[in-house]
Amino acid sequence: MKQLFRNSCLFAAIVLAAGCAAIRLSPAGSATNAEVWLTKADGSVRLERQEDLPLSKGAAGDIYIDAGKRRQEIVGFGAAITDASAILIQTKLSPAARDGLIAELFGPSPGLNFSFTRFPIGASDFSPAHYSLDDRPDGSGGGSSRFSLDPAREYLIPTLRKALDANPHLTIMASPWSAPGWMKTSGALIKGTMRDDAFGDFAAYLRLTVDGFADEGVPVHYISIQNEPDFEPANYPGMRLSAGQRARLIGDHVGPALATARGRTKILEWDHNWDQPSQPMAVLTDSEAARYTAGVAWHCYGGDVSVQSEVRALFPDKDVFFTECSSGGWSAPWPDSFLWIMRNIVIGAANNWSRGALMWNLALDETSGPHLGGCGNCRGVVTIDGKTGAVTRNPEYYALAHASRFVVKGARWISSSCPASLSCAAFRNPDGARVLIVLNESEREARFRVRENGRGFDYALAPAAASTFVWR
């Protein structure tokens, strides 16, 4: 595989890429030039390398980089490996195309270097059937002796293992869409909340999940106790859990259970939208729950990304993660989705303390599936044609790549003053390279000077376009 990465054209053929230009060997940057990678929001240019920019001396600038002002350490960028994504990757691609696509997405440059992913514990709406890892048709309770990872062994676990092979430093998060039905007031995976007498059973269920996946070679680094706990879907697994319930679950049950698990799985609270910051704040003000909670996870379907900073200001010892957003048929892929994701997820989440950012489905087919209930017009980072296996790289792919391919795990967010006409975020990689991402949403070309310690470069960014710059 290392030899494969040395030949970008061979790699392109294997992963079905459109051509070699978009995946030329990427970037270490240099002390004399800045590398430039460009995407235009109309899709006419997609993550293509431009001419290097000479670094020159000069004090005046429009964007000032200050690497002395550092904040969060970056875990990475990526997307969720749902049942739908895993099934498509495992069954609709030839072995060579499957391995090539996973290497393209998770492997190092010229791959996209995704280093963060998430998977559902049991079914989500992007599963061909609704199930948990401890289904009991008779509704009986009393422990988790019927727990089984068999539903995950056919497609999900092999895909996660392949991703880990491509990127051994991959950080993995897991989230349940519902507790097993026998633990709930509804007696089913759909709707309802958790029974008061099932809190201990649910904690055991999550611990068995974490230990079981670890035994399968898939470490779970982070977990939330419920995906979108303030929402009860009508036709796919879900479970409403109040802030009080979550605080008791974490503080009295799940936290102590995971503390004795074989791994070092950390708990992320909320895993829901920006529009209800009072919910995670209520959990974090509970001393027992806060003791076991590493941070807050956010979704994009309501509110504003700035809320991440507001909550972190009140709880500065807690991490921030952005863990779900989906694009779909409700907006135009180019330019709308690309611009929105660049502004809010790639740039906005990082500027508001996020250590990692995830889109929703890694892969869907041409019918936005397979799914059972839920979203019928969502779009994956890539589309895999269910009949031909052809792979289409969507705007989400290129937006994430502007960060994931250049900002490596262990990088630090650094300060970048940015004029109001632009959006930007900057990072310092562990090897000292600077990475600057700039978005121009206007209809006019944007000319600006980037400066750090009296040295930098000048650039003219096309209208409705984004560029990533790398230098030392």
Annotated active-site positions, please? 228, 324
Q: Confirm if 114 and 352 have CB atoms less than 8 A apart.
A: no
Q: For residues 441 and 343, give the distance between their C-alpha atoms in angstroms, rounded to a whole number.
A: 9
Q: For residues 15 and 26, give the distance between their C-alpha atoms in angstroms, rounded to a whole number.
A: 17
Backbone Cα Rg of the chain: 22
Apex 201 CA angle, 199 and 205, nearest 5 = 115
| CA nearest neighbour of 111 among 166, 74, 162, 149 | 166
- Residue 432, number of CB atoms within 10 A of its CB: 10
Q: Confirm if 292 and 266 have CB atoms less than 8 A apart.
A: no
The 8-class DSSP code of residue 184 comes to B
Q: Confirm if 214 and 262 have CB atoms less than 8 A apart.
A: yes
Collect all residues with Cβ–Cβ distance below 8 Å to 168 and sequence separation of at least 6.
none
Q: For residues 121 and 179, give the distance between their C-alpha atoms in angstroms, rounded to a whole number.
A: 9
- Residue 95, number of CB atoms within 10 A of its CB: 8
